[in-house]
Amino acid sequence: MKKGRYVLILVLFFFVLIIATVTSFLFFEIGRPPSIGASSYLDIRLEGPLVEFAETNFLASLFAGGRPLSVHDVWNGLRMAAADDRIAGVLLRLGPLACDWAKCAEIREAVLDFRKSGKKAYAAIEEAPEFDKEYYLATSCDRIILHPLGWLGIPGIGGYVPFFKKAMDKLGIEAEFEHVEEFKTATNMFTESGFTEAHRKMTEAIAGDRFAEYVRTVAESRGKTEAEVRSLIDEAFFHGEGAVKAGLVDDLLYDDQIAALFQKDGKKCDRVTLGEYSLIDPASIGLGTGRRIALLYGLGPIHGGESLYQSMGADTIVRWIRAAREDRSIAAIVFRVDSPGGSAVASDSIWREVMLCRKVKPFVVSMSDVAGSGGYWISMAADKIVAQPQTLTGSIGVLAGKISLEKLLEKVGVTAETVRFGQRSTMFSPFKNLTPDERKLLKKEILWIYDRFLTKAAEGRKMSKEDVDKIGKGRVWTGAQAKAIRLVDEIGGLTKAVDVAKELAGIRRDENVRLVVWPKRTSFLGSLFGRRDVRLSAPLPREIVNALAWADRLNEDRIWAIMPFGMGLD
């Protein structure tokens, strides 16, 4: 009887596998483009987690609850819609977005580019109690629409930066790290119980710069003075008519009234979603033709080996860059970076391939929310670096250390005997604390890595090592600040980076190019048996999840070039 039950379970498993394969082939691999009417509008819902690039990976989409919303899809959709005569306008349905400011700036810039086509873009908001970066995005549209019963909150930029040292002390867990130098604060959440002077100075400078950009942009877009915008932010919350009276929104409309705004030749337009529109071949509307430019995505923490879902493995990125370098049909490369850094060795492996590539063809880096520490290491050899004003970058510094459980183990009665052949063989063991001599040795090691970082940054940015050191020491800068100190070359987004790559490759700005994107589409079987992983998100605050993820990786690589996770400021 049991044997028959096992056979039945096995048959059911293979039946489900076959169904999944067929479904993947029909709906995921083929992806039949929709039929779009001659008079349509593009409906884009911007709400929830927003990633830089959503891999076309069956398992990743399955476990993530469907294909994630991505900047790339929105950017490409707006770019296509501007050239598509069938699309009369765009509606952005805005809800709270789980991303940082630079991603919103990227979409904002794409909307402004779309409007140059003469078509209208509207932003629709139902209710949003904390909506600063999303409202900043909304101001790129022709009109901002609020639900008649909705409310809008723009309380400004602020938040809390968590520190875990006191809790760790109670548990008997000790974080032992050496870093270069005072602004390298990635482990401060574990080693300090509050801000150091340098940590506070850096955090306030970043938030202040972002706030100034926010106020300036909103004032310019809504026809107000910066003083008026600051006053409205201090007032913070606005319902319906109050939001209209304050000049923050233009209309109070229900959904059916919004749809009626889109008309062509006196007729109501059909609605097409971004998901449907993403299946359209750009070549069918005159885009995606001409010379080829590679667009490579480097996302997430940097580590050795192959990339995982939303993380950057050096072997994978090196392979992509090398393939683009050796492909004679590719005129230039744009490397889109969204990474807080990670392993110094893995970062250096990618840097080496960038150096080899730029000797053969133009190499341009486009920075998203964050490209600091190791994220800057892999960028600094590029011909040109383009960043948004709110991008977090720089953080030229290094750290190393470990988590010691010696006191915790003593509390719970765990003992351990030592077997050691080699004076330093137990240096990174969690069973013991670092000795003063071991700390001195660790500091010497990371100072050597920091010197390599400075040397390579100076070479890439055509600066002296001394000048790089003055703006290094682990300090994080916004993109606007980084341009002023020569860490980046241009302010702008992905469109700007592509234009720079075209210029360096001798391609006219008005000439169409075909973007060859990495990572490539992954089939169901490829995602099942390939080298990719799926990591599920936990229903915890982002700062806590990031801290746990950071702690989980501390013992995997010894030398880190990594930024603070979760500045705590939205």
Select the more confidently predicted residue: 15 or 236: 236
d(CA 52, CA 417): 48
Q: Are 217 and 437 in contact (CB under 8 A)?
A: no
Work out the average pLDDT over 382-399: 96
Give yes or no on whether 37-155+236-282 and 288-562 have one common fold: yes
> What are residue 385's DSSP bridge partners?
365
Chain segment 43-65, per-residue pLDDT in tens? 999 999 999 998 765 554 454 44
Q: Supply the CATH classification number for the domain 288-562.
A: 3.90.226.10
- The whole-number pLDDT of residue 521 equals 63
How far apart CA 558 and CA 402 sit, in angstroms, is 8
Q: What pLDDT is recorded for position 9?
A: 58
Higher pLDDT: 542 or 34? It is 34
The average confidence (pLDDT) of the chain is 88
pLDDT at 35: 80
Query: Is residue 386 within 8 Å of 500, Cβ to Cβ?
Result: yes
Query: Of the candidates 101, 114, 329, which has an alpha carbon nearest to the alpha carbon of residue 218?
Result: 101
Report the candidate in 487, 338, 395, 455 with the shortest Cα–Cα distance to residue 198.
395
What letter does residue 27 receive in the DSSP assignment?
Answer: I
Q: What is the DSSP string of 479-497?
A: HHHHHHTTS-SEE--HHHH
**Does residue 29 have a pLDDT over 90?**
no
pLDDT in tens, 98-125: 999 999 999 999 999 999 999 999 999 9
Q: Which residue would you say has higher pLDDT here, 544 or 127?
A: 127
Q: Indicate the class that CATH gives domain 37-155+236-282.
A: alpha beta
Amino acid 18: pLDDT = 53
- What is the per-residue pLDDT for 535? 34
CA pair distance 312, 535, nearest whole angstrom: 13
Residue 257 pLDDT greater than 80, yes or no: yes
Q: Residue 160: phi, psi to the nearest 5?
A: -120, 140
Query: Stretch 81-98: mean pLDDT, rounded?
Result: 96
Predicted pLDDT at 288: 83
Distance CA 158, CA 152 (A): 17
- Crossing angle, helix 494-504 and helix 71-83, to 10 degrees? 70
Q: What does the pLDDT read at residue 283?
A: 87
Q: For residue 206, what are its two tokens?
A: 């970043």
**Tens-digit pLDDT profile for residues 156-177:** 999 899 999 999 999 999 999 9
Residue 561's pLDDT is 76
Q: Is the pLDDT of residue 318 over 50?
A: yes
Q: Would you tell me how many other CB atoms lie within 10 Å of the CB of residue 459?
A: 14
Q: How many other C-beta atoms can be found within 10 angstroms of the C-beta atom of residue 167?
A: 12
Q: Residue 547: CB partners within 8 Å, gap ≥ 6?
A: 162, 164, 189, 565, 566
Is the pLDDT assigned to residue 484 strictly greater than 60? yes
Which of 33 and 291 is assigned the larger pLDDT? 291
The mean pLDDT value for 414-438 works out to 92
Query: What single-letter DSSP state applies at residue 284?
Result: G
348 touches 448 (CB < 8 A): no
Q: How many other CB atoms are there within 10 angstroms of residue 419's CB atom?
A: 7
Q: Picking from 282-286, 468-472, 494-498, which range would have the lowest pLDDT averaged per residue?
A: 282-286
Predicted confidence (pLDDT) at residue 541 exceeds the cutoff of 50: no
Whole-prediction pTM: 0.88
Distance CA 353, CA 523 (A): 28
Taking 90 as the threshold, does the pLDDT of residue 214 lie above it? Answer: yes
- Confidence band (pLDDT; 50, 70, 90) for 527? very low
Q: Which is nearest to 262 in space by CA: 86, 63, 108?
A: 86
The set of residues, in sequence order, having a beta carbon less than 8 Å from that of 474 and lying 6+ positions away, is: 179, 180, 181, 182, 183, 184, 185, 373, 395, 396, 397, 398, 399
φ/ψ of 88, rounded to 5, equals -90, -25
pLDDT at 520: 81
Domain ranges of the chain: 37-155+236-282, 288-562
Angle between helices 314-326 and 344-358 (to 10 degrees): 0
The one-letter code for the residue type at 359 is: K
- Strand-pair category, 363-372 with 384-387: parallel
Could you report the per-residue pLDDT of 262-278, keeping only the tens digit for each? 987 788 999 999 999 99
Cα–Cα distance between 353 and 361 in angstroms, integer?
Answer: 12
The pLDDT value recorded for residue 32 is 61
High-pLDDT (> 70) share of the chain, %: 84
Single-letter amino acid, residue 27: F
- What is the SS3 assignment for 119-173? CEEEEEECCECCCHHHHHHHCCCCEEEECCCCEEECCCCCCCCCCCHHHHHHHCC
For residue 23, what pLDDT is reported?
47
Structure tokens at 351: 């840097």
Lowest average pLDDT, out of 29-33, 206-210, 427-431, 556-560, goes to 29-33
Query: What is the β-pairing status of strands 120-125 and 87-98?
Result: parallel
State the amino acid at position 266 in one-letter form.
G
pLDDT, tens digit, for every residue of 334-370?
Answer: 999 999 999 999 999 999 999 999 999 999 999 999 9
- Count of beta carbons in the 10 Å neighbourhood of residue 482: 26
Supply 374's token pair.
């190791």
DSSP letter for each residue of 319-339: HHHHHHHH-TTEEEEEEEEEE
> Is the Cβ–Cβ distance between 120 and 92 less than 8 Å?
no
Q: Which residues contact 383 (CB under 8 A, 6 or more apart)?
A: 358, 362, 363, 364, 504
- Using left for φ > 0, alpha for ψ between -120 and 50, and beta otherwise, residue 491 falls in beta
